Amino acid sequence: MVRRMATTHYFPEDRVHFTWDAGNEPVITIDSGDTVVARTRDVSDNQIGPDSDASVIDTLNWDRVYPLAGPVAINGAEPGDTLAIEVLDLHTQGWGWTAILPGLGLLADDFPNAYLRIFDISDGDVARLEGATIPLEPFLGTMGVCPAGASAQPVMPPGRFGGNLDTRQLVRGTTLFLPVQVPGALFSWGDAHGVQGDGEVCVTGLEAPMYTALRFTLEKGRSIPSPQFRHVGPLSPRVGALGYYGTTGVGPDLYVNAQNAVRAMIDHINGTYGLSPEDAYLLASLCVDLRISEIVDAGEYVVSALLPESVFAVS
């Protein structure tokens, strides 16, 4: 028996789609074990650029938000199988942005006005925001197979098919496992982030175009209920050494608790480091991690917001 050599495919930069749809024809078809390389667009589909200011947010064409590379069909994939996606490489492409988008985010009522920050990340290492230095940890905010029966289904929110997971642990070296929903799997990806905290509280991470390389392995007959992943190494290798400052929200509603924990964190960052409330909110979205600290204590739950203090200790 002759073993087939795995192939590297280069995805065309001009092929994107903006919704999940079972009728989307695959752009390329690959075999299990193959790798696909692509340069993904920022989540605005180039409507926001390095020279933009906040006025661009009022004119965004929302039908062009979430441009996804794909679909890629995997030979032999059928519903009931699992598709493993290994993140081989991710590289930012020199710049990115973070914004407050009116009506969106954890604290939409607190921050009703559009606000935009453009970041020069041409060194490929850190983003800087008013005295804070945030190490880059790139990942893809959206990776998904096509949902069963999808017809012009919005990319946001996610589902058991994956999609807009915004899980910051899906960095280089991670393997994501997705339950195949349709023949061929019809995998797509995009919405890359240069860095993001757990929660993405202002609704944007560091949105950035990205060089991506993914390897696909089909696991025939393995069925999982929803996305799973294997992360190699510590969860916060670049920011945890100097400890964290935590704020909390306590009460019977996890969502309200998360809001209150972030409000307290914004006050802490503003009062301690002098960032404006808007920049403190953006910083929270980029590097503050929300955690469920307690959920079993007589209906009073605790959500913590954790700020890695190292981001203010690096010049």
pLDDT score recorded for residue 241: 87
Same domain, 207 and 248: no
Same domain, 25 and 141: yes
3-class state of residue 129 by DSSP: strand
Within 8 A by CB and 6+ apart from 198, the residues are 168, 288, 289, 290, 291
What domain range includes position 308? 244-312
pLDDT score recorded for residue 4: 75
pLDDT class of 203 with cuts at 50, 70, 90: very high
Residue 3 has pLDDT above 80, yes or no: no
The radius of gyration computed from the CA coordinates of the chain, to the nearest angstrom, equals 20
Mean pLDDT of the chain, nearest integer: 96
> How does pLDDT run across 213-231, given as a tens digit for each residue?
999 999 999 999 999 999 9
Same domain, 197 and 284: no
pLDDT score recorded for residue 109: 98
What is the mean pLDDT of the segment spanning 205-218?
98
> How does pLDDT run across 137-175, given as a tens digit for each residue?
999 999 999 999 999 999 999 999 999 999 999 999 999
Same domain, 82 and 205: yes
pLDDT score recorded for residue 29: 98
Residue 2 has pLDDT above 70, yes or no: no
Give the CATH number for residue 269: 3.10.28.20
> How does pLDDT run across 103-126, given as a tens digit for each residue?
999 999 999 999 999 999 999 999
Same domain, 215 and 260: no
Within 8 A by CB and 6+ apart from 3, the residues are none
Q: Residue 201, exposed/middle/buried by CB under 10 A (0-12, 13-18, 19+)? A: buried
pLDDT score recorded for residue 287: 97
Same domain, 149 and 290: no
Same domain, 145 and 290: no
